[in-house]
Structure 1
Amino acid sequence: LAGMDCPPNPESVTQRKKFLFIVLFLFAPSVLAGGRLPNGIRAEISGVFPDVSPCVISNNIADVSFIYQQYKDFRQDIEYLYNQIIERLKNKGLIK
């Protein structure tokens, strides 16, 4: 995010939701379609955000699919971040 023309506040709720969406998309995509969150993922995610309770993480997870569908800017940011992650993994030879 720091490389963007106008970098956002990395500690904002919106950035946390973008992070959650990408993590869920990569590790538990069924959650984005209303599925159950696999055991342990919420605790691991809440460990990334030390001042955020697991309950807040659950509430944010409930919002992210709706926000992705409804807000073009959010969707574009997710696509940009996801593509950056994939490109970096390709450069490191971790994926083809």
Structure 2
Amino acid sequence: MMINDFFRIGELISVHIQKSELERKEAELATPMLTDLEHIPQIFEWFCELSGDSGDGGKLNTDRKMQFLIIIMFFYSPISLTGHRIPNGIRDILTELLGYKSKSAVSNHLKNLVPTYDNYRMFREEVDLLYASIRSRLEDRGMLPYILIL
């Protein structure tokens, strides 16, 4: 009986190690690539240019708006794609760029971004292409920090 009790301590240590590693990994994955919100309008211009849309966010269809939102959230707040709060300032900029009357429209779209990306191949393929092109432009202009992958 006592050996079982001490086995639990080993299990507890193992759980603690796993929990620490998961917290470290979450922090790594949740760290945004971009923090300067002044880049968002430029990224929106590139998005419109690459997708063949006018620069008028109010005229974009819902799919295009959602594509732009998922790209911006991935750059600026990947944790928001898991249901966490959007950092201050981002929603204001997106509301204005996309021609929404209310900030809640941005939040409402966030709920559907990941399921839409996961479930609709064409949507996903377009997002992936647009993201890669925008990321390339950001890298070419030195707007993304250099990340050494070990």
Aligned to 1:77: 126
- Share of identical aligned residues, percent? 28
Structure 1 residue 22, shift from structure 2 partner: 0.4
Deviation at 1:38, TM superposition (A): 1.6
Give the Å deviation of 1:2.
Answer: 4.9
The answer to whether the 8 Å contact 2:60/2:98 transfers is: no
Contact 2:50 2:130 in 1 (8 A): no
Q: Using the alignment, how far apart are the partners of 1:20 and 1:47 within structure 2?
A: 13
- Structure 1 or 2: more helix by fraction: 2
Q: Name which of structure 1's ranges 36-45 and 11-20 shifts more when overlaid on structure 2.
A: 36-45
Partner of 1:15: 64
Query: In the alignment, which of 109, 113, 116 is matched to residue 60 of structure 1?
Result: 109
Provide the aligned length of Structure 1 versus Structure 2: 94
In the aligned structure 1, how far is the partner of 2:95 from the partner of 2:53? Answer: 21
Unaligned 5+ segments in structure 1 are none
Closer/same/farther in 2, CA of residues 50 and 65 from structure 1, 3 Å limit? same
Calculate the TM-score normalised by the size of structure 2: 0.54
* In structure 2, C-alpha distance between the alignment counterparts of 1:35 and 1:43, rounded to whole Å: 17
Distance 2:67 2:86 in 1: 17
Matched residue, 1:50: 99
Q: AA paired with 2:63?
A: T
Runs of 4+ displaced beyond 6 Å: none
Residue in structure 1 matched with residue 76 of structure 2 by the alignment:
27
RMSD: 2.2
- Quote how far apart the aligned CAs of 1:48 are: 0.8
